Structure 1
Amino acid sequence: MADFQHLITPALTFSGVALISLVCQLGAWRLRLPAILFLLLAGILLGPIAGLLSPDEFLGDLLFPLVSLCVALILFEGSLTLKFEQLKETGTVVRRLVTLGALVTWGVISVACYWLIGLDPALSALFGALVVVTGPTVIVPMLRTLRATQRISQVLRWEGILIDPIGALLAVLVYEWIAAQTAGDNGFTAGLLIFAKVVCYGTVAGVAGGALMATAMRRRWIPEYLEVLASLTLVLVTFTLANELAHESGLLAVTVMGIWLANARGVDIEEILVFKEHLSVLLISGLFILLAARLDLGALLALGWPALVLLLVIQFVARPLAVWVSSLGSELNWRERALIAWIGPRGIVAAAVSALFALRLEQAGYEDAALVSALTFAVIIGTVVFQSATARTVARLLRVTEPERRGVLMIGANAVARGLGEVLQKLDVPLLVVDTHWESISQARMKGLRTLRGNPLSTQVDSNLDLTGLGTLLTITPERERNALLNQHFRRDFAAHRIFTVRNERSGTNERMQISANHEGVPIGPEGMTFSKLSSLVSQGARFKATTLTEGFSFTQWQQEAGKGRTALLALTPERRVRVFSPEQPLQPEADWTLIYLETATEQPAPKREADSDPVLPDQAAQS
């Protein structure tokens, strides 16, 4: 064993942690479960159980500053997502959940921890603040398998996004208070003064850092390709300087800096946010394995039933009470409230911040500080495992799941997509249109379509994408490679036979230059119907229309009358399921099916044969 340990070099250890992190992320992606669960379990297996990884011995004096800097970057990235305008748009229930509900959760858990575990009141308050946070990294994977109603999904998703920085700020403030009390040798007054100093310096440093970065970006002092590097550097500088001015004020400073930058006018932080997301995934993946490897399982298991009762209080008392208080007077019915109360898994911020605070408080002389981190990790594992296993069953029992994924996710908001989307909307088909171009999205919104502006391949858009009720993917862009990449990306959310794409012209005759058909979706429309042809027809006046077949007016008759002036692209079954015309999936529509087709401007419809001059509603049938 000694010889084996001698072979484990620092380079091999870092490489091994990186490899295990990737395996955990891939496993979470395949199983649609929060990655944090796999990362924590991997760390526990490598550390306390197998004894192969000891972060204290491996990193030595570098452990504390490394964890501190990583947590600072994670908090900054999370605070970049908190825009005050979102608080106005998310509704009363979400605003209450992240404010009043967070305070109720904090109070209940703190008292329960004090009475059940016997921790110091200050440490109990810190633990309560740490486990207030849920977070999108644990909520979104659960929602994708849950298929809850849109109203429930929106509440849970927005709560997870907004509670991240707010809960982290609460935990930082509680910790700063404890640190101030520890440093204040002259009692409560001295501790209060130190706390005020920490909050003041942290806030001022954060505002200064955020204002400086926003001004530099707004006035183009920094070229675009250096904005990410500049923001990363300024975060580290702000964190370090704030700690020098007032001990332990750095975390508050970077949180305030991120919130300031997120709400600065005339500043585009999308590139910074995307990079920080990738950096956070890298840091979180490796950091959590290292932190989980430090857990004292013996001390946690020694707590016995009190720890289990604490977990039950969090699940069945704190969360339901917070949801009940936050939803008073809202439009949510009791079933929706019950499911929201059932779901509240703890996530990344809680684990990272708790481990850092445990390290610092241990150095400050708090003997039970390690229990705070161990209890936090136990709550994360307990809530994720229990709720992932039971949430879908509970949702079905409460009858708050979407009936069937009959809607359409449409990538592209160009003229072709807008015309098709307008018909789908008039037929009451759930629809979400996603595009990166502001002008196209604006025109889609003017037509009343539900839209989302952003790149579906970005981490931010992907994690916030509401796919509730959407079971068909249509990629309608002029870029063949982009369509293929999008189709591959969404195979985790849509069945392969429900992913469709418009054809695009091939770039050449050389097969070595072509995209494999395996990477593309099922083609839409008949042979020869490409995006450029569709776009050309629409620009010349062609319009998407709809008509409903009857017993007296069959699909064959429609085809005979349509001639070459009409091309059927989609159809709706009597059960309102979307079907797509494609050579790979032949369709034979019957009575009560609704056809969606493109009619060229030159084609004159047969008089009084079918009422299809405009998109018809499902209850309108064509007359023969």
Structure 2
Amino acid sequence: MINPDNLIPPALTLAGIALVSLICQLMAWRLRLPAILFLLLSGILFGPVLGLISPDEFLGDLLFPIVSLCVALILFEGSLTLKFDQLKETGGMVRRLVTIGALITWGVISVACYWLIGLDVALSALFGALVVVTGPTVVVPMLRTLRATPRISKVLRWEGILIDPIGALLAVLVYGWIMSQAAGHNAFLASLAIFVQVIGIGTIAGIAGGHLMATAMRRHWIPEYLEVLAALTLVLVMFSLSNHIVHESGLLTVTIMGIWLANAKGIDIEEILVFKEHLSVLLISGLFILLAARLDLDALLALGLPALALLLVIQFVARPLAVWISSIGSELTWQERTMVAWVGPRGIVAAAVSAFFALRLEQAGYEDAALISALTFAVIIGTVVFQSATARTVAGLLKVTEPERRGILLIGANQVSRALGEVLQRLEVPLLVVDTHWDSIRQARMKGLRTMRGNPLSATVDSNLDLTGLGTLLTLTPEREWNALLNQHFRRDFQAHRIFTVRNERAGANQRMQISSKHEGLPLGQEGLTFSKLSSLISQGAHFKATTLSEGFSYEKWLEDAGKTRFALLALTPEKRLRVLSPGLELVPEAGWTLIYLATGQDEKSAEAAAVVKREHAQTEKDAKPELPDAV
């Protein structure tokens, strides 16, 4: 990291920021809290508190161009997830939130800032415009830990991405109005001209960039391995070019580009989306640390109680009022509306744009402009900390969270899958069985299993597949190639260590004809257990059973008794979390766990023989015991 004496090399500074970012992300994952909370605190600690990071000295004039380009990439990545078919239920509310809701939020916050903080009308209006935005950088990580229902998640995700360019546009208009007044020009006409220019250039450039990228991918002008690089380069070029023509029109450009690509027909953006998602995590982490390190703690602490009062107005007046008015006529329940009203943290766009405008206004002679940046960070920290600490509790009280992902998705409704599904259902494990064969699905339904008939790779099934509460994938079909393809397809929905398959070696095939294990999921059960073997055993009378381990009957003891007649496959913890036994995972079931295994016909005969011996032994002891005379 760096200090005022420049004793630490720049390379070590960047490495230090990356390390701190990783630690913050790991802490957030472990504690199930938004990472932004730890990133902000780390930036403040290593910046103004310890003086180890000084972004202005480290990056100089490159700081804001770098921040702007990073924000563009983050916003583009978020907009790639916005598909129009997600707006069937919530489209009207999203439109009202980013228009009517944004104006209500701006008005309430501007008035509150004027009365509570004492800034003049112009600066209060600018601050209100800056903190209108919520942003995907804080909303999306919060949604991961919140596990809200799909309708809440869609509303907050769409709003967070669309409100960023709208908030930036609003801030540009207010800034133009302030500078026009200072220059003695007609402020209204100047603001109107800026509005038309930003909307026009941003829309044209966004559509042009999105159409160009989609056409290049559809017509294979670019090889697949260069598609990610091409998209990344085009985003940076279009953003910079748009901003060069009309200041702050770039955010609208990259947002429209992302939405255009997300909804384009005949192209696959999965590789771009996966790469951009990883890149976004890195950029968000670094940016929050850098911008928090620039914070003037003295200016922030000097705000005192008025800043706290302003934060309360934002949380309990501006946000609820905007949401409830915007939700009139929507299908959201009052619980869902309340949850949307509760979640509205401010993020990286507000921080970056406020720092930029504060610097410009200070240079123009506005002495109070420095307060805007400090006040914006106070709102960011306040909303992130408060909502991170309370959102999960509020969601639980309102009962608007998805169930924990402890269930299993079974691909294949054959006799193996049906037999396993029956045991899992008796143990109250949520499951969904998917297959293309009607007869197999019919038999699964007769056993009371939740099913869905269709090809998991089809667009219809893919868009309607309800994975709520399902955190494990198990492909149970006899075709190894089909299993591998499905495992690759569902990597976007399930973590790699939660994807399993029953392997089936192709008889007599050499190594050149075998599928690489890296394309498959982790193997189910012990080494060498194939679908053919499972199916054969079940046809011969084997069936799945469940037994609970204890201190006196441990897993090691069970293995001793099992021999070659039982095959352990799954285990259920006392908290009802499903665990899959696989050679690739060092998993040892403990006391209190329920073990799910396949018992063969030989095991049944051995059990019956043991029961007979036990009964004979008990009868022998009874016969040998002397009879006592009846009591007098």
User: Normalised by the size of structure 1, how large is the TM-score?
Assistant: 0.69
Q: Please give the secondary structure, in 2, of the residue aligned with 1:410.
A: strand
Preserved contact between residue 433 and residue 450 of structure 1 (Cα < 8 Å): no
Distance in 1 separating the partners of 2:466 and 2:298: 42
**CA–CA distance in 2 between the matches of 1:231 and 1:76?**
10
Instruction: State, as a whole percentage, how many aligned pairs show the same letter.
Output: 62
Q: Does residue 473 of the first structure (1) align with residue 472 of the second (2)?
A: yes
Equivalent runs, 1:436-515 vs 2, <5 Å = 447-448=451-452, 469=469, 473-476=472-475, 504=503
Match of 1:271 in 2: 271
Secondary structure in structure 2 of the residue aligned to 1:375: helix
Separation (CA, whole Å) in 1 of partners of 2:265 and 2:7: 54
The CA distance in 1 between the partners of 2:571 and 2:49, in whole Å, is 57
Q: Distance in 1 between matches of 2:434 and 2:11?
A: 43
Equivalent residue, structure 1, for 2:190: 190
**2:169 aligned residue:** 173
Q: Distance in 1 between matches of 2:347 and 2:416?
A: 38
1:620 corresponds to which residue?
A: none
Extract unaligned runs of 5+ from structure 2: 436-444, 511-515, 547-563, 583-587, 602-632
Q: Contact (CA 8 Å) 1:101, 1:322: kept in 2 or not?
A: yes
Quote how far apart the aligned CAs of 1:259 are.
2.4
Matching residue within 153, 160, 166 for 1:164? 160
Sort the Cα spacing of 1:528 and 1:225 in 2 relative to 1 into closer, same or farther, 3 A.
closer
What do residues 308-361 of structure 1 show as CA deviations (whole Å, max 9, x unaligned)?
011111222223223433444566555554444333333444444444444455
2:34–2:388 CA contact under 8 A, matched in 1:
no
Structure 2 vs 1, CA of residues 242 and 502 (structure 1 numbering), >3 Å: closer, same or farther? closer
> 1:5 Cα deviation (Å)?
3.1
Alpha-carbon contact 1:431-1:450 (below 8 Å) kept: no
Aligned to 1:377: 377
Q: Give the C-alpha shift of residue 40 in structure 1.
A: 1.0
Shift of 1:198: 3.0
Structure 2 counterpart SS, 1:268: coil
**Hey, what's the Cα distance between the residues in 2 that align with 1:3 and 1:313?**
38
Separation in structure 2 between the aligned mates of residue 172 and residue 180 of structure 1, nearest angstrom: 12
- Superposed, which structure 2 residues align to 1:86-97 within 5 Å? 86-90=86-90, 96-97=96-97
Give CA deviations for 1:118-173 in whole Å, capped at 9, x if unaligned: 334454444434434445654566566656xxxx5223322232122211021121
Contact 1:354–1:373 at 8 Å: present in 2 too?
yes
CA RMSD of aligned residues (A): 5.4
Kindly indicate whether the alpha-carbon contact (under 8 Å) linking 1:500 and 1:521 is maintained by their aligned counterparts in 2: yes
1:14-42: CA deviation from partner (whole Å, max 9, x where unpaired): 22112211111121111111111111111
Alignment of 1:387-402 (within 5 A): 387-395=387-395, 397=397
- Measure the CA separation in 2 of the matches of 1:61 and 1:323: 39
Q: 1:596 to 1:102 in 2, by over 3 A?
A: farther
Q: Is the 8 A contact 2:40 2:289 kept in 1?
A: yes
1:406 and 1:68 map into 2 onto residues whose CA distance is 37
The letter for the 2-side match of 1:177 is L
For the residues of structure 1 that align with 2:81 and 2:345, how far apart are their CA atoms? 20
Equivalent residue, structure 1, for 2:305: 305
Give the match for residue 242 of structure 1. Answer: 242
Contact 1:336/1:400 (<8 A) preserved:
yes
In 2, the alpha carbon distance for the partners of 1:502 and 1:75 equals 36
CA contact (8 A) 1:433 1:451 kept: no
Distance 1:466 1:128 in 2: 40
Distance 1:423 1:365, change over 3 A: farther
Q: In the alignment, which residue of structure 2 is the partner of 1:10?
A: 10
Deviation of 1:294 after TM superposition, in Å, equals 0.8
SS in 1 for 2:149: helix
Alignment deviations for residues 505-534 of structure 1 (CA, whole Å, 9 cap, x no partner): 7999xxxxx99xxxx99966x997534545
Structure 1 gaps, min length 5: 436-443, 455-460, 509-513, 549-563, 601-624
Alignment partners' CA distance in 2, 1:544 and 1:102: 63
Q: Is the 8 A contact 1:504 1:532 kept in 2?
A: no
1:113 paired residue number:
113
- Aligned amino acid, residue 201 of structure 1: I
Letter aligned with residue 382 of structure 2: G
* d(CA) in 1 for partners of 2:454, 2:575: 19
- The CA distance in 1 between the partners of 2:580 and 2:63, in whole Å, is 59
Count of equivalent residues: 540
Task: State the distance in 2 between where 1:249 and 1:267 align.
Answer: 27
Counterpart residue identity of residue 157, structure 2: I
Q: Alpha carbons of 1:72 and 1:569: their partners in 2 closer, same or farther (altered >3 Å)? A: closer
1:291 matched to 2:291? The reply is: yes
**Alignment correspondent of 1:408:** 407
Q: CA deviation at 1:108?
A: 2.5
Read off the aligned partner of 1:175 and give its amino acid letter. Answer: A
Pair 379,334 (structure 1): closer, same or farther in 2 beyond 3 Å: same
Name the SS of the counterpart of 1:321 in structure 2.
Answer: helix
- Who is 1:225 aligned against? 225
Distance 1:411 1:365 in 2: 66
**Residues 570, 597 of structure 1: 8 Å contact kept:** no
* C-alpha spacing 1:322/1:416, structure 2 compared with 1 (3 Å): farther
- State the Cα distance separating 1:222 from its structure 2 match: 1.0
What amino acid is the match of 1:237? V
Asked whether the 8 Å contact 1:203–1:253 carries over to 2, the reply is yes
Indicate how the Cα distance of structure 1 residues 136 and 63 shifts in structure 2: closer, same or farther if over 3 A, else same: closer
* Counterpart position of 2:344: 344
